[in-house]
Amino acid sequence: MLEKKLKQLIVVTGTSGSGKTTLVHLLLERYPELEFSVSVTTRKPRIGEIEGKDYYFVSQSEFKEMIIKEQILQWVKFADNYYGTPRNTVENQIKQGKKVVMITEMEGMRKTKQIFPDTLSIFIMPPSLEVLKERIQRRKQDSCESIKKRLETAKIEIQFANECDKIIINDNLDKAIDNLQKIIFDE
């Protein structure tokens, strides 16, 4: 039964600072019938982030316990923090016939597609590495070392963007959200 509904799982991925979270939140405002898969992370909340809406914030030991209990669909360690997707929530939403949108890094997208091969994957591409660096710096949430790590990771991720079903260059927010909307609802 679950296999017939897997095309309802949409993974939005891209580099840190590409705008994937902003785009997904704008999409969810336009289409409240979409379900958002709230990720679990061990990183500290950023200004304005809400527990249970943006992320579930847990300790590293809590996260590792969730992995052991197979409560995480996919997970990745990125910039010294863990990120993952609660398995039961996603599976229950799909069983209920809902379109589920999740945000993850490239490795998380790969792991999700291994489990659910019919997942629609969309890579959000920054217009350039310089713009990406400016976006990350503008957040004022990362140390210089963390920014450097994020940019190095971004260079690698961009090389593998074609692993995704679709790529959106986020150089104009309105255009990017329109493209995201068309991809999801035309599939």
57-97 pLDDT, tens digit each = 999 999 999 999 999 999 988 778 999 999 998 999 988 98
pLDDT reading at 122 higher than 60: yes
- Spatial contact of 183 and 3, defined as CB atoms under 8 Å apart: no
The average confidence (pLDDT) of the chain is 87
Cβ neighbour number for residue 68 with a 10 Å cutoff: 9
pLDDT at 2 over 60: no
Radius of gyration of the chain (CA): 16
The answer, yes or no, to whether residue 12 has pLDDT greater than 90, is yes
Q: Specify the pLDDT at position 105.
A: 85
Buried b (16+ CB within 10 A) or exposed e, 38-67: bbbbbeeeeeeeeeeebbbbbeeeebeebe
DSSP conformational letter for 46? P
pLDDT at 30 over 50: yes
Q: What is the structure's pLDDT at 46?
A: 85
- Region of 19 (left: φ > 0; alpha: ψ -120 to 50; beta: rest) is left
Q: What is the CATH number of the domain that holds 129?
A: 3.40.50.300
> pLDDT tens digits for 98-120?
999 999 888 889 989 998 888 99
In 3D space, the residue among 187, 165, 173 whose CA is nearest the CA of residue 30 turns out to be 173
> Which strand ranges, in their side-by-side order, compose the sheet holding 39-41?
55-57, 39-41, 81-86, 72-78
Query: Would you say residue 123 has pLDDT above 80?
Result: yes
- The whole-model pTM stands at 0.82
Segment 165-184, tens digit of pLDDT = 999 999 999 999 999 999 99
pLDDT value for 153:
82
Q: What domain range includes position 36? A: 2-186
**DSSP state at residue 51:** B
Provide the number of structural domains found in the chain.
Answer: 1
